């Protein structure tokens, strides 16, 4: 195992991805204000030094518990939040630099988002046709008249909503959860987006239709669309995504090839996550890894040490004072932990 | 044509909803009668057509005033002005409330702070005394000015309600989706947010209409409006200053009062029905009827077997 410094790690990520289309996130830091005070305002650090990349035609999964900063990553990439520090690059261009000037429309044409709640992500007062027309009107100005309709029906067919014409005339409440999520995917596709940030796209769907949506996304991935797949469920992350990053309290604690991360987890938190996956036939309480019961820390800009120290079964004194550096454990598998 | 969504909606709205049907009938009758006042009542409301304080008769349906004018003609013509003031004031109120409320709710931050402190300032003014002082200060003002005064001073509650509704809609994921899509802010407000507020806006518009009608009548009754223009308010003012009740000419006072009560009641009935749309928990409608029917059917079947 060779210890890598922060800088070489970032460099390696960048050099990997030059050439083809990609999203790169380097050392992303986001602070949220906790109060509205004029002086001595308190901040929490929602993301701390997060780096990852998504290539076209590949999926990167972010796994972690609620509040670990997965959605914040996605929303920052859509410019819904402003990063405190760090660089976000789309095809090598800095998304937030004032010099390069990527307009919101330009960004929207490349990066789209799918939300968790299929009941909340479609406006209840508009028909599916209206919801689909808007992205086409904004991002495909060359299409006119009947061409818009044909293009829209084509996309609805492609996501498996046939007969498309009847579906287009319906209101969201007339569709099932799975169908709505397909409409949300169709809407993201309609802009011609190269990257889709899927924020827990299947967690609110019936178990029986989850696989259908996952397979649809896998088909789109094969057609060259890059995914950021955010999930609680490390099993679907392995099923769908080539690479997986495990997040805890705004830090990426372990990342790399999905098979390697899930089959050979090195970080105690990843081990805990995997042991929490329910399995048919396993007795309750016989989980292999036992974490200590402790509160999840509120990370502040001046917090020190490893964020998982309070719950870690392998904790040492060093963990409370120092952030562990990155260790490479396999060709594409990195861990931030002292206890390896 | 019968399957058009608007018609479908209207059928669902009216079916089994007695309050809505009654309200619509009352409101539309009053509006139509006022609109065709000069056709229905031949007498000029400002001309002397009989002796003073004649009781209702076949010739003068609702009697005459102290100065011998036709009360029936006056109440219809007065309705035109009163309704215009009520609708005009409601329109102004609703427009300002929507602009302020939606902007504050959607943009948030500084805009919200500024608009809400303005709203709170307007809110702490006592309304009727303010109206009285303004009207008295401006002299005996015409109906347009009264509509303006009412409209400009009563939007604050509405703005707060609309702001809170906007806040609720604003954080829904479809608004985020529209932002991620690259929609312009104004399109998001007008096309994505506003249609979600329609039912509350319509309900509020009717409430404001009732309030404006009452305020107009109140100002007129106190003699703060132009007494030469016939409205329901000035009719009450003249009846009061001519001691109509004391001399036994009850019709002079009761007729405009009843007109206000009937129209206000009609609007309130409609308002109640619209409330059931914006807040389905209030809805009983046809369900109780259906339930009763099913119950009798079941009991009949039991009795048979």
Is A123 in Cβ contact with B181 (below 8 Å)?
A: no
CB-based contact (8 Å) between B183 and chain A? yes
Is A80 in Cβ contact with B176 (below 8 Å)?
A: yes
Query: Would you say residue B293 lies in a domain?
Result: no
CB-based contact (8 Å) between B275 and chain A? no
Q: Which of A17-26, A121-130, A331-340, B236-245 has the lowest average pLDDT?
A: A17-26
Decide if pLDDT at A21 tops 80: yes
Q: Which of A184, A264, A185 is nearest to A220 (CA)?
A: A185
pLDDT band at A10 (very low <50, low <70, confident <90, very high): very low
Is A104 in Cβ contact with B195 (below 8 Å)?
A: no
pLDDT band at B47 (very low <50, low <70, confident <90, very high): confident
- For chain A, what is the mean pLDDT? 84
User: Domains in chain A and their CATH numbers?
Assistant: 2-336 (3.40.50.300)
Is B172 in Cβ contact with A80 (below 8 Å)?
A: no
The whole domain housing B52 covers 39-266
Decide if pLDDT at A92 tops 90: no
Is A134 in Cβ contact with B178 (below 8 Å)?
A: yes
**Residue percentage of chain B with pLDDT more than 70:** 95
**Residue percentage of chain A with pLDDT more than 90:** 19
Average pLDDT over residues B183-210: 87
pLDDT per position as a tens digit, B93-137: 999 999 999 999 999 888 999 999 999 998 888 877 887 888 788
Give phi and psi for B50, each to the nearest 5. -155, 180
Chain B, window 117-146: residues with a beta carbon less than 8 angstroms from a chain A beta carbon: none
pLDDT band at A12 (very low <50, low <70, confident <90, very high): very low
Tell me what pLDDT residue A284 has: 64
Query: Would you say residue B204 lies in a domain?
Result: yes
Pairing mode, strands A226-231 and A43-55: unpaired
- For chain B, what is the mean pLDDT? 84
pLDDT band at B4 (very low <50, low <70, confident <90, very high): confident
Tell me what pLDDT residue B283 has: 60
pLDDT per position as a tens digit, B148-165: 888 888 899 899 999 999
pLDDT band at A144 (very low <50, low <70, confident <90, very high): confident
Distance CA B129, CA B149 (A): 12
Is B180 in Cβ contact with A112 (below 8 Å)?
A: yes
The CATH number covering residue B186 comes to: 1.10.3720.10
**How far lies A284's CA from each of A278, A279, A280, in Å?**
9, 10, 10
The number of folded domains in chain B is: 1
CA distance, residue A281 to nearest chain B CA (Å): 38
Tell me what pLDDT residue B282 has: 62
B176 interaction partners in chain A (CB closer than 8 Å): 75, 80, 113, 115, 121
Query: Would you say residue B103 lies in a domain?
Result: yes
Is B176 in Cβ contact with A107 (below 8 Å)?
A: no
Tell me what pLDDT residue B38 has: 81
Tell me what pLDDT residue A162 has: 81
Query: Would you say residue B277 lies in a domain?
Result: no
Decide if pLDDT at B184 tops 60: yes
Decide if pLDDT at A17 tops 50: no
DSSP chain B: -TT-HHHHHHHHHHTT-HHHHHHHHHHHHHHHHHHTHHHH--S-TTS--S-TTPPP-SSSTT-B-TT--BHHHHHHHHHHHHHHHHHHHHHHHHHHHHHHHHHHHHH-HHHHHHHHHHHHHHHHS-HHHHHHHHHHHH-SB-HHHHHHHHHHHS-HHHHHHHHHHHHHHHTSHHHHHHHHHT--HHHIIIIIIHHHHHHHHHHHHHHHHHHHHHHHHHHHHTT-B-TTS--HHHHHHHHHHTTTTTTT-HHHHHHHHHHHHHHHHHHHHHHHHHHHHH-GGG--HHHHHHHHHHHHHHHHHHHH-
CA distance, residue B154 to nearest chain A CA (Å): 29
pLDDT per position as a tens digit, A201-228: 888 888 888 888 999 999 999 988 999 9
* pTM attached to this predicted model: 0.77
Tell me what pLDDT residue B196 has: 85
Tell me what pLDDT residue B13 has: 77
Tell me what pLDDT residue B3 has: 64
Query: Would you say residue B278 lies in a domain?
Result: no
Of A120, A125, A135, the CB nearest to B181: A135
- Secondary structure of B197-240 in HEC code, one letter for each residue: HHHHHHHHHHHHHHHHHHHHHHHHHCCCECCCCCCHHHHHHHHH
pLDDT per position as a tens digit, A95-119: 877 766 778 888 888 899 999 888 8
Q: How many CB pairs below 8 Å do chains A and B form together?
A: 56
The answer, yes or no, to whether ipTM is higher than 0.85 is no
* Furthest-apart CA atoms within chain B: distance in Å: 79
Average pLDDT over residues A165-188: 89
Is residue A324 within 8 Å of residue A337, measured between CB atoms?
yes
Q: Which of B103, B221, B97 is nearest to B161 (CA)?
A: B97
Tell me what pLDDT residue B46 has: 78
- Give every CB contact of residue B114 below 8 A, 6+ residues apart in sequence: none
Interface residues on A facing B, Cβ-Cβ cutoff 8 A: 75, 78, 80, 104-105, 107-109, 111-113, 115-117, 120-126, 134-135, 138-139, 184, 187, 191
The label of the residue with tokens 């993301």 reads A47
Query: Would you say residue B294 lies in a domain?
Result: no
Residue of A nearest to B197 (CA): A125
Of B172, B191, B195, the CB nearest to A120: B172
A interface mutation test: which of B6, B9, B177, B201 has the most A CBs within 10 A? B177
Decide if pLDDT at B144 tops 50: yes
B interface mutation test: which of A80, A118, A123 has the most B CBs within 10 A? A123
Query: Would you say residue B235 lies in a domain?
Result: yes
In terms of phi and psi (left: phi > 0; alpha: psi -120 to 50; beta: otherwise), the region of A290 is beta
Is residue B54 within 8 Å of residue B63, measured between CB atoms?
yes
Tell me what pLDDT residue B279 has: 62
Residue of B nearest to A117 (CA): B173
Cis status of the peptide bond prior to A44, with omega within 30 of 0: no
A125 interaction partners in chain B (CB closer than 8 Å): 195-196, 198
- Give every CB contact of residue A42 below 8 A, 6+ residues apart in sequence: A33, A34, A35, A300
């Amino acid at each position: 195992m060779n210890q890598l410094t922060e800088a070489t790690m970032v460099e390696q990520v960048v050099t990997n991805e030059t050439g083809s289309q990609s999203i790169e996130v380097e050392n992303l830091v986001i602070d949220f204000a906790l109060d509205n005070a004029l002086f001595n305002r308190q901040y929490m650090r929602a993301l701390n030094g997060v780096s990852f990349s998504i290539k076209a035609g590949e999926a990167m999964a972010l796994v972690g518990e609620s509040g670990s900063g997965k959605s914040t990553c996605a929303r920052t990439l859509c410019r819904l939040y402003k990063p405190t520090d760090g660089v976000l690059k789309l095809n090598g261009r800095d998304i937030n630099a004032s010099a390069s000037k990527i307009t919101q429309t330009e960004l929207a044409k490349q990066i789209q988002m799918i939300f968790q709640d299929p009941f909340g992500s479609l406006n209840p007062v508009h028909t599916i046709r209206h919801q689909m027309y808007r992205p086409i009107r904004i991002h495909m100005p060359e299409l006119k008249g009947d061409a818009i309709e044909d293009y829209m029906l084509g996309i609805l067919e492609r996501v498996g909503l046939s007969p498309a014409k009847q579906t287009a005339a319906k209101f969201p409440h007339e569709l099932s959860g799975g169908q709505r999520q397909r409409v949300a995917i169709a809407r993201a596709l309609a802009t011609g987006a190269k990257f889709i940030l899927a924020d827990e796209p299947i967690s609110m769907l019936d178990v029986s239709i989850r696989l259908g949506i996952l397979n649809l996304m896998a088909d789109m991935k094969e057609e060259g669309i890059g995914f950021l797949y955010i999930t609680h469920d490390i099993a679907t992350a392995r099923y769908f995504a080539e690479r997986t990053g495990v997040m805890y309290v705004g830090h990426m604690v372990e990342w790399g090839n999905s098979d390697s991360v899930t089959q050979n987890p090195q970080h105690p938190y990843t081990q805990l996550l995997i042991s929490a996956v329910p399995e048919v036939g396993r007795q309750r309480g016989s989980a292999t890894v036992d974490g200590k019961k402790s509160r999840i820390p509120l990370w502040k800009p001046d917090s020190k040490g490893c964020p998982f120290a309070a719950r870690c079964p392998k904790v040492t004194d060093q963990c409370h004072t120092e952030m562990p550096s990155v260790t490479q454990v396999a060709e594409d598998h990195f861990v931030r932990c002292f206890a390896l | 044509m019968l399957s058009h969504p608007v018609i479908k909606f209207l059928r669902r709205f009216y079916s089994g909803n007695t309050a809505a049907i009654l309200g619509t009938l009352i409101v539309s009758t009053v509006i139509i009668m006022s609109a065709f006042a000069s056709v229905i009542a031949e007498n000029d409301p400002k001309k002397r057509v009989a002796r003073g304080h004649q009781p209702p008769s076949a010739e003068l349906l609702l009697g005459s005033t102290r100065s011998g004018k036709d009360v029936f003609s006056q109440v219809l013509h007065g309705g035109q002005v009163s309704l215009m003031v009520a609708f005009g004031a409601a329109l102004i109120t609703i427009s300002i409330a929507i602009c302020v409320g939606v902007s504050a709710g959607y943009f948030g931050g500084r805009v919200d702070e500024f608009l809400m402190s303005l709203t709170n300032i307007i809110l702490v003014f006592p309304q009727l005394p303010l109206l009285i002082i303004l009207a008295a200060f401006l002299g005996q003002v015409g109906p347009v000015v009264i509509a303006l005064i009412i409209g400009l001073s009563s939007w604050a509650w509405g703005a707060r309600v609309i702001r809170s509704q906007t806040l609720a809609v604003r954080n829904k994921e479809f608004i985020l989706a529209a932002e991620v899509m690259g929609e312009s802010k104004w399109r998001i407000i007008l096309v994505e947010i506003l249609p979600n507020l329609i039912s509350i806006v319509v309900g509020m518009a009717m409430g404001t209409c009732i309030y404006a009608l009452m305020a107009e009548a109140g100002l007129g009754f106190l003699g703060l409006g132009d007494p030469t223009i016939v409205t329901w308010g000035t009719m009450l003012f003249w009846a009061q200053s001519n001691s109509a009740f004391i001399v036994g000419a009850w019709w002079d006072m009761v007729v405009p009062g009843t007109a206000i009560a009937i129209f206000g009641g009609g609007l309130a009935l409609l308002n109640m029905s619209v409330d059931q749309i914006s807040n389905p928990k209030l809805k009983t409608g046809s369900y109780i009827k259906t339930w009763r029917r099913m119950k009798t059917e079941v009991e009949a079947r039991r009795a048979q077997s």
